Amino acid sequence: MKKLMLTAAALATSALLSAPALAQSNEVTIGISIATTGPAAALGIPERNALEFVPKEIGGAKLNIIVLDDGGDPTAATTNARRFVTESKADIIMGSSTTPPSVAISTVANEAGIPHLGLAPFPINEQRAKWSVMLPQAVPLVGKALYDHMKAHNVKTVGYIGYSDSYGDLWFNDLKNQAVPMGIKIVTEERFARPDTSVAGQALKLVAANPDAILIGASGTAAALPQQTLRDRGYKGLIYQTHGAASMDFIRIAGKSAEGVIMVSGPVMSPEGQADSALTKKPGLTLNTEYEKKYGANSRSQFAGHSFDAFEILKRVIPVALKTAKPGTPEFREAIRKALVTEKEIPATQGVYNFTEKDRNGLDERSRILLTVKDGKYVLVK
């Protein structure tokens, strides 16, 4: 399994190390499990890349950052999380890039009593609520923006195609819970696996049902597969995509079929269009400027924002925790957990965070925008 160590001196993203260093008393150890290989690599690679632009020290404490690749696999994510607990003695755990491994990491973190910052939307039940928070926008929050757009454009019927896993379930259940009471009828539901290379059969069924709109519940470059297939099979209606698809890679893979898509996203995809008073504007511009300077114009990504924002949050909570405890102790982990809910209005690229013991996402309407694709570029939906 690949492992990357990010030290206070430099982010050695290409180095392979045999064992993580144990944190010293003046170091905060952060274990990060993301998918830098496999079907979810389009999400995990921007998350890894964004770590080059995060602090190397917070509140006078050096950051000992350990990155492991889980390939999007829940079993590998569980193994990584247990290594963070037993070998690295991590103070904080982050990850993963997709929903199923995020659930696995959350389970380990809550068993061990270590703060966990999830980088993908995932359900946080009572057993996972104490130590886990979720940085990406919750599905009901961003979903409402899509359904409001459907309603405003006289959509009466909708078809659904999504992953055959917990991410697909999150979106289909939300579609039922929010869109149906708004008078929008679901006429068909189709699913596909993340590694699938064809959805021709599902697309034909959706086209035959002829809904006014279709919602695609997928993420990364795989979200482009049904988009392209539906257009190739002659579907002319509105196509909606989730914030899991918000990257330039989606346009690159989907090509001309991306034109006219309606996609919900975090504000990091277009901070230039925000009012100067928006708390998300400055961090969004900071990340995108640095990211595109290194990785090229229009390389910005929703997913880079998630890992970058984790450290924007830590910039607020670590100094608070350091006042009462030293890194490497249960007391410090508890202090981090408490600081996550006492610190308010934490600005980041994807929203303004206000976590509570019950609200483990902490975001509001400031965390969402609607995009469409015009002439191969994302533009704001007015």
> Could you state, in order of their start, the residue ranges of all structural domains in the chain?
3-137+293-364, 139-265
pLDDT value for 382: 79
* Per-residue pLDDT reduced to its tens digit, 69-85: 999 999 999 999 999 99
Show Cβ contacts of residue 203 under 8 Å, excluding neighbours closer than 6 positions.
Answer: 161, 190, 226, 229, 230, 232, 233, 235
Show Cβ contacts of residue 220 under 8 Å, excluding neighbours closer than 6 positions.
Answer: 39, 40, 41, 42, 43, 244, 245, 247, 249
Look at residues 228, 227, 246, 225 and name the one whose alpha carbon lies nearest to residue 43: 246
CATH architecture, range 3-137+293-364 = 3-Layer(aba) Sandwich (3.40)
pLDDT value for 220: 86
Q: Select the more confidently predicted residue: 58 or 15.
A: 58
Q: For residues 168 and 148, what is the distance between their CA atoms, to the nearest angstrom? A: 20
* pLDDT reading at 19 higher than 50: no
Q: Tokens 């289909």, residue? A: 172
For residue 346, name the pLDDT band (cuts at 50, 70, 90). Answer: very high
For residue 11, name the pLDDT band (cuts at 50, 70, 90). Answer: very low
Please check whether the two domains, 3-137+293-364 and 139-265, share a CATH topology: yes
pLDDT value for 231: 98
* Mean pLDDT rounded to a whole number for the chain: 93
Look at residues 47, 68, 69, 51 and name the one whose alpha carbon lies nearest to residue 10: 51
* Per-residue pLDDT reduced to its tens digit, 127-183: 899 999 999 999 999 999 999 999 999 999 999 999 999 999 999 999 999 999 999
pLDDT value for 15: 34
* Per-residue pLDDT reduced to its tens digit, 302-343: 999 999 999 999 999 999 999 999 999 999 999 999 999 999
Q: Select the more confidently predicted residue: 15 or 87.
A: 87
pLDDT value for 377: 92
Ranges assigned E (strand) in 103-152: 116-118, 132-134
pLDDT value for 273: 86
* pLDDT reading at 228 higher than 70: yes
Q: Per-residue pLDDT averaged across 19-30, rounded?
A: 66
Helix 302-322 to helix 281-295 angle (10° resolution) is: 120
CA angle 215, 220, 223 (to 5 degrees): 30
pLDDT value for 33: 98
246 in Cβ contact with 269 (< 8 Å) = yes
The percent of residues above 90 in pLDDT, for the chain, comes to 89
DSSP per-residue letters across 298-316: T--BHHHHHHHHHHHHHHH
What burial letters (b/e) apply to 348-373, b meaning 16+ CB within 10 Å? bbbbbbebeeebbbbbeebbbbbbbb
Tell me which CATH code domain 139-265 carries.
3.40.50.2300
pLDDT value for 25: 63
Look at residues 308, 352, 149 and name the one whose alpha carbon lies nearest to residue 242: 149
* SS3 (DSSP) at 156: coil
* pLDDT reading at 23 higher than 80: no
pLDDT value for 177: 98
Reported pTM: 0.87
pLDDT value for 8: 39
